């Protein structure tokens, strides 16, 4: 399934090689936690991993390729978000609970991978196809599930069809991702995440069902 780990010149990496490679990835990830993306240098990563820059280039084309590698792992983990939007009953109180769970899922996922997601966001906005694809992989599944949900609501005639299900779903997902990505920003802005959570859930619920959430 997953292709074997290979060095830049195509050789298959053995036990030792995989270990150093992983160590480099770990150090890179730690580096991104603490330094601005622009300031992450190969030489620092190598030093932190107790190896030489030349070794880094044995396993990765450049820093971006290495980050892409981390991002791909992340994308696998990201498939859990999809299950939160899939096959839910969006009506009534259960629907609102689903919206809350979805919001929580995004908030948590972004908390886990914040620095990587920052870079993925930037690079895909800059037009890098490889990063765009990763972002896609994470978000597209959720968007698809939400689209279906909205289509169902519209089919039942409960919601007007002035809004394209696809566009609404994409917008909601973008919103969730954006808010999740600026959690620290919100906090230092005098807005508590405790208050943002209901706002997010409410908007998701309203976007999907077209109704106010049930009072409880």
Partner DNA sequence: GCAGAAATCTGACGATCAGTCAGATCGGGT
Partner DNA sequence: ACCCGATCTGACTGATCGTCAGATTTCTGC
Q: How far is the CB of 203 from DNA (least distance, A)?
A: 42
Which residue lies nearer to DNA by CB, 50 or 214?
50
CA 187 to CA 164: how far, in whole Å?
33
Q: How far is the CB of 27 from DNA (least distance, A)?
A: 13
Question: Which residues lie near a copy of itself (CB under 8 A)?
Answer: 36-38, 64, 114, 118, 121-128, 132, 135-136, 140, 160, 162-164, 166-168, 170-172, 174-175, 177-179, 181-182, 184-186, 188-192, 195-196, 198-200, 202-203, 206-207, 210-213, 215
Between 165-181 and 129-155, two packed helices, what is the crossing angle to 10 degrees?
Answer: 130
Please choose which of DNA, a copy of itself, none residue 53 contacts, taking the beta carbon within 5 to 8 angstroms, the exact cut-off set by kind.
Answer: DNA
Triad 90, 93, 97: Cα angle to 5°: 70
Which residue lies nearer to a copy of itself by CB, 105 or 213?
213
Which residue lies nearer to a copy of itself by CB, 8 or 178?
178
Please choose which of DNA, a copy of itself, none residue 43 contacts, taking the beta carbon within 5 to 8 angstroms, the exact cut-off set by kind.
Answer: DNA
Which helix (H) or strand (E) is 11 found in, with range?
A: none
32 near 19, Cβ under 8 Å? no
Q: Give Cα separations from 123 to 130, 194, 195, 215 (angstroms).
A: 9, 31, 31, 42
Q: How far is the CB of 137 from a copy of itself (least distance, A)?
A: 12
Please choose which of a copy of itself, DNA, none residue 155 contacts, taking the beta carbon within 5 to 8 angstroms, the exact cut-off set by kind.
Answer: none
60 Cβ contact partners less than 8 Å away, ≥ 6 residues apart: 8, 24, 66, 69
Q: How far is the CB of 17 from DNA (least distance, A)?
A: 3
DSSP conformation class of 35: S
Question: Which residues lie near DNA (CB under 7 A)?
Answer: 7, 11-20, 41-44, 50-55, 57-58, 62-63
Which helix (H) or strand (E) is 87 found in, with range?
A: none
């Amino acid at each position: 399934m997953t292709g074997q780990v290979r060095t830049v010149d195509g050789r298959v990496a053995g036990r030792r090689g995989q270990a150093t490679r992983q160590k480099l990835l770990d150090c890179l990830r730690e580096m991104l936690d603490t330094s601005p993306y622009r300031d992450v240098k190969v030489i620092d990563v190598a030093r932190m991993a107790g190896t030489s820059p030349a070794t880094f280039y044995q396993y990765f084309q450049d820093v971006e390729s290495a980050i892409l590698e981390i991002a791909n792992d992340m994308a696998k983990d990201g498939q859990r978000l999809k299950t939160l939007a899939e096959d839910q009953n969006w009506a009534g109180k259960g629907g609102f609970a689903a919206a809350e769970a979805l919001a929580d899922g995004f908030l948590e996922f972004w908390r886990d991978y914040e620095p990587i997601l920052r870079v993925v966001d930037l690079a895909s906005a800059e037009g890098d196809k490889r990063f765009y694809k990763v972002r896609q992989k994470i978000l597209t599944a959720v968007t698809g599930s939400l689209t279906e949900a909205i289509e169902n609501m519209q089919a039942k005639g409960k919601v007007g069809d002035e809004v394209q299900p696809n566009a609404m779903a994409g917008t909601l997902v973008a919103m969730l991702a954006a808010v999740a990505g600026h959690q620290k920003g919100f906090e230092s802005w005098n807005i508590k995440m405790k208050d943002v959570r209901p706002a997010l859930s409410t908007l998701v619920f309203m976007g999907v069902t077209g109704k106010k959430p049930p009072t409880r």
